[in-house]
Structure 1
């Protein structure tokens, strides 16, 4: 087939947030308290022997093993002997990608993967550790390089491990996909409003609220409430980046009851205040 002499590509937006990175030793018997957070988490056991307990299930990690834990899941690590581990927390947009990760029924563990995939994961982890090991303050260009490497790693995970039947809508009936798609459209269109509740969706679609929630989770992997939170955060970020509206005006635009509540909501889900985000501060 001859090459096309013209093409159109609508473009896409990808945002990858790295919240914290740890590379350290853990003494035998070390345990971190059971906890959960709204971020995805990666733990790589470089040496020694560890466990990650996820929702009461133990996943053993030998040297070279890796685990990816879903957001909002109770978990804690434990060292069975002196070990060295690499750990980071992240979030990723667009929501379609976020939802693919969210639809995982259990953690991704490298020891359960084919040998070639397990080896490639280990290479990626070693590469990322090397980028951090210099101990020097990173330049902005180096931070971009790091983020690029992490995005490539996550793309590898999506392509090689997250199976095609997890993709949005696969396995759901046409009617369920239609309900979920219409719900997503309403959340996207009217999602700046705090008044967009599941009861309102039920009235608009003339479908029971429990059925809407079930269809949405089956297709998108998250609840409508979780999806709406993502929509509101993205709209807030856009207003902070692309307008000169004050924090109070943005809170009003998104129908928060007060600027203080908006700031609390934003900090809870983003990790920094709206003012810090607007000024380019990261954590």
Structure 2
């Protein structure tokens, strides 16, 4: 199964703008509002789209877009990333589940980077390697949509906050970070964050970060020739002596012994 990327770009409107596809779209359209606002009519319903809203439309969907002056300050401002695409893989992905026409997923930097990479590859032209890269990037974009929708549509704010803490730790575990930074990312106090994470995941935030760091260190010991000191540093441990102590406490052997064992010595 393959994908076909037809159009992929960023647009910004500072003047009133309309786009009508009342006879129905001929391809899939994915659109992320990144700034400003607009009005969209699809499947007989009107949506007031704000920054952070993701629009997912399928072939045959009616699509009316209107960018007009703000009722508050009279300005016209609307920026968005968009993709028109088709293909057997897209059909299969679309059929896996029901998705809202508009989902509030936020302006996620990771999602934007993925989208920006897709735009760059599209602009480079139809080279053989570009087509394959675009295929995988587009699939990744679609799968990321599902994650973003799932993570931002929890009925419970508590569940969402716990997940935000977990995602922050996963992204920052191999660098030095403070628990206060994770708490701020989740919009909670430090004490509330500590209790919430332990309640939902059965371990402390530091314990989860340590688990990720040890897994990363073990992989680098098995598959790279980095020194143990360098591995400790790049996996988020403050010193080699601390890394050595934590590694032995969790795995029962020293880092050096682990590396020799994994390499058959």
Please indicate, yes or no, whether the TM-score normalized by the shorter chain is above 0.5.
no
TM-score (norm 1): 0.36
Q: Which has the larger radius of gyration?
A: 2
